[in-house]
Amino acid sequence: MAFEYLYKEYLNAILLSSTLGTNFAKSDFSNVITKSLSQNGYYKFPDGFLIQWGYFSGGTANNQSINFPLSFKSCFSLAFSSTTDNTNNSIWSVNYAAIYASYFTVYRRYADAGTIANSSQSFRWIAIGTWK
């Protein structure tokens, strides 16, 4: 009888610690990282760090707006890359005009030996900042 009692208490202790461990794990680690690994995506870390990226290929207007997948609290770095067939020694550039919490604006320009104009060149971007 004493053995059965001890055995039941032992099982209850294991069950209780297992349940507590599972509940604590869910509450502590259920939202460690949220992410979207699409072409326009993000990686959101629990300490407030946020990385976002994307691809843009629309229009030729200056001061073009591009939305972030998520809003930043503070965006402190923004970089661009673009590619083109450079057979005529031309220069393509993408520069940001302004950065806001939920979007940024860019100017795209094209220059060769005789022309300077707005560009329609597509580009990729990456932004780094905080979400909290």
Number of domains in the chain: 2
Within this chain, do residues 9 and 56 fall inside the same structural domain, yes or no? no
Within this chain, do residues 50 and 1 fall inside the same structural domain, yes or no? no
Q: What is the pTM of this model?
A: 0.71
- Walk along the chain (132 residues) and give the pLDDT tens digit of each residue: 555 655 566 556 555 554 555 554 444 555 568 999 999 999 999 999 999 999 998 877 778 899 999 999 999 999 998 766 666 777 888 889 999 999 999 988 888 888 888 888 889 999 999 999
Within this chain, do residues 24 and 39 fall inside the same structural domain, yes or no? no
Within this chain, do residues 60 and 102 fall inside the same structural domain, yes or no? yes
Question: Mind listing the pLDDT tens digit for each residue in 57-79?
Answer: 887 777 889 999 999 999 999 99
61-73 per-residue burial string, b: 16 or more CB within 10 A, e: under 16: eeebebebbeebe
- Name the residue range of residue 20's domain: 1-30
**Contacts by 3-11 with C-beta closer than 8 Å and gap 24+?**
none
Within this chain, do residues 54 and 110 fall inside the same structural domain, yes or no? yes
Give the CATH number for residue 121.
Answer: 2.60.40.3940
